[in-house]
Structure 1
Amino acid sequence: MADEANRTAFFEIQGRMIETTAKLKQVQTQLRNKEGEKKRAYLTLEELKPLAEDTNTYKSIGRTFLLEPKSVLMEEQEQKLKDSEAAISSLQTSKEYLEKHMAEVENNLRELLQQDPGLARQIMALSV
């Protein structure tokens, strides 16, 4: 009876671990994407700053380029930079939470396996 309860607990913990790992990978991917957006916005701003105010500047929309005033492009890039920074801080918080949750799940799994060494042998027999 206890063996069955421990096996059920193991599979439940394993499911949580898989779910947490997937969420963590997703957050890390989103974080990399937002950091790339932030860097592009920053570099675009750095290229726009030295230009004169009356310089023809173009905004890319798909395959089309629209003539836009420099000030409009600067505002858009500054907004993208701010939005990216906010998203990065939010994602960083999520990442830290998921890492703590992952450590907790690993600890629970470790405790379960130490509590019932026979369970570890049964699981190894299942995976082979």
Structure 2
Amino acid sequence: MADESIKSAFLEIQGRMIETTRKLKQVQNQIRSKETDKKRSFLTMEELKQVPDDTNVYKSIGKTFVLETKATLMNEQENKFKESETSITALHSSKEYLEKQIAEVENNLRELLQQDPGLARQIMSMNV
């Protein structure tokens, strides 16, 4: 009975570890994406600053280009930049939370393996 409960606890911990690791990778990918968006907005703003105010500027919408004022385009890029910064901050806090959860799951697994050394041998003998 105790052996079966330890195995079920191990499977539960393993599932939590897999799920948390998947979420962490997803958050890391989102952070990279938002950092790319932030950099793109920054570079676009830098290029727009060099353009005289009376110059025609075009905004790309799919395959179409729409005439916009420089001020409108600058505002849009500033908003994208700020939104990216906000998202990155939120994603970093999510990343920290998930990393803490992974550490907690690892500790739970260590404790479980210390309780039953036979389980550790069974795990080591499993084919992956």
TM-score, normalized by length of structure 1?
0.96
* Aligned-residue offset at 1:122: 1.8
For residue 63 of structure 2, what is the aligned residue in structure 1? 63
Runs of 4+ in 1 over 6 A off after TM superposition: none
In the alignment, the residues of structure 2 paired with residue 123 and residue 94 of structure 1 have an alpha-carbon distance, to the nearest angstrom, of 31
In the alignment, the residues of structure 2 paired with residue 36 and residue 126 of structure 1 have an alpha-carbon distance, to the nearest angstrom, of 42
Give deviations 1:93-128, integer Å, cap 9, x for gaps: 000000000001011101111111001112233336
In the alignment, the residues of structure 2 paired with residue 42 and residue 97 of structure 1 have an alpha-carbon distance, to the nearest angstrom, of 29
For residue 54 of structure 2, what is the aligned residue in structure 1? 54
The 5-angstrom pairing of residues 91-110 of structure 1 reads 91-110=91-110
In the alignment, the residues of structure 2 paired with residue 85 and residue 105 of structure 1 have an alpha-carbon distance, to the nearest angstrom, of 30
> How well do the aligned residues superpose, as a CA RMSD in angstroms?
1.0
In the alignment, the residues of structure 1 paired with residue 119 and residue 97 of structure 2 have an alpha-carbon distance, to the nearest angstrom, of 29
> What are the ranges of 5 or more consecutive residues in structure 1 without an aligned counterpart?
none
> What are the ranges of 5 or more consecutive residues in structure 2 without an aligned counterpart?
none
For residue 39 of structure 1, what is the aligned residue in structure 2? 39
Alignment length (residue pairs): 128
Identity across the alignment (%): 70
